[in-house]
Amino acid sequence: MNKQKTIKSKFFLEGKGLHTGENAKLEFLPAPVGTGVVFIKQDVNPPILIKGDFNSIDDFDNYPRRSSIGLGDNHIQTIEHLMASLSLLSIDNIQINIWGNEIPGLDGSAKDFVEKIKEIGVAAQEASREVLVVKEPIWLEEGDSSIVLLPSDEFRISYGLDYENLKIGSGFADIVLDDKHLDNFYQARTFCLKKEVDNLLKMGLGKGANYKNTLVVSDQGVVDNKLRFHDEFIKHKILDLVGDLYLAGPIKAHIIAVRSGHSLNMKLLQKLRRYKQKTSSAGVPSRAGYIPENTELDIEEIMKILPHRYPFLLVDRIVELDRGKRAVGIKSVTINEYFFQGHFPEKPVMPGVLLVEAMAQVGGVLMLACPEHRGKLAYFMAADKVKFRKTVLPGDQLVMEVWTKKIRSRTGKVAAKAKVAGKVVAEAELMFSLV
């Protein structure tokens, strides 16, 4: 099971921003479980906290050719190389105090960030990583650039590069990202075409760039510098993509990108934000990692585990709980139930879909009440072998028995039966994703 991680101790870095040319100082601090990546601007009063996630992304039109985050009038520019280093080393929780408006460019890659974090050390924490698992294709295209995300058991990037400049040219790279076996691409430096330089300076960009931290490419080759490795150009594009994607947090997918840059990456992040909202909205999340001590739970304890509230909380009491093995819940059905107003009001019958939902809620309690699943989310993924055998009427008391068929660190499968007066009224096998 992958654990969340932070750094072992604090450290400092400082330098000029590639675009603003302004000096900035960074202080890196360990952070508790669940913090995420947070930046705190210390040069304003009071200090401003800006989350390093896809809810804080700045308008790319205002900050072209780099990735920036902001809150109100406060912004932090060119975060992609730093974010890439956190992604590569699986740093989930970290506080970064910043004095300045742009992350230092350093040598134009993520090399200094990665090497400093490795020197300080990484510490595992007592909580599982929350990974965004892509379960269906997601794609985006803009002109001759495109990105496709496909389901995969690993974080993999396949990138196709194609420049008219013959010294950059075309190329393809395929990298599986694993913090135990770092590829050299974190050392790949940013680059631009020599013919772009004057226009970039007119736009107010590149004020901190020089021939050491930026590969300037003319028709004759790299100006006053040498490549660190033959595929440094394409690997820097992958570095930028990794950094941008980490604004969505840890991700599991096969990313296939062709000529993508920050503009398309930012639009992809907006798609991923909506995808994450869509896939989590049908979940049964634990409210606060609450683990009950009793084998019988009243309604208040159930509400500490499940997020549901009236009129959609369909379990009144858990009368038996054998953690990770079996649970029995009850639901007293009355004529005052909201669904009887529109579902055959002349002859009230409880809808079958709500019988399945009620059994799923008992299943959610069964799994989320286990200490090993503290703080996880149980996403109701599928129902199989669903059968409705008798109608459920006002005045009936549903007794829902759910028992584990298979439960792992990331998935759970339960069987469920609902009875009235000892007779089965519905049954099903229910699948959950535990993240």
Q: Report whether 163 contacts 180 (CB < 8 A).
A: no
| b/e code 321-353 from CB counts within 10 Å (16+ = b) | bebbeebbbebebeeebebbeeeeeeebebbee
Kindly report, residue by residue over 73-87, the tens digit of the pLDDT: 999 999 999 999 999
pLDDT above 50 (res 389): yes
276-305 pLDDT per residue, tens: 877 765 555 444 456 666 788 888 888 888
Residues of the chain with CATH 3.10.129.10: 283-434
Q: What is the value of pTM for the model shown?
A: 0.68
pLDDT tens digits, one per residue of 110-135: 999 999 999 999 999 988 898 999 98
Q: Which residues of 188-216 are buried (b: 16+ CB within 10 A; e: fewer)?
A: bbbbbbeeebeebeeeebbebbeeebbbb
| CATH 3.30.1700.10 location in the chain | 3-281
- pLDDT > 70: percent of the chain: 94
Q: Which residue in the list 19, 236, 262, 373 is annotated as catalytic?
A: 262
Class of domain 283-434: alpha beta
pLDDT per position as a tens digit, 203-258: 999 999 999 999 999 999 999 999 999 999 999 999 999 999 999 999 999 999 99
254 catalytic? Reply is no
Scan for tokens 């049964």, then name that residue. 284
Reply yes or no: is the peptide bond before residue 46 cis, omega within 30 of 0. yes
CATH number 3.30.1700.10 is the correct assignment for the domain at 3-281: yes
The residue behind tokens 């705190």 is: 40
Residue 376: pLDDT over 80? no
To the query of whether residue 181 is one of the catalytic residues in this protein, the response is: no
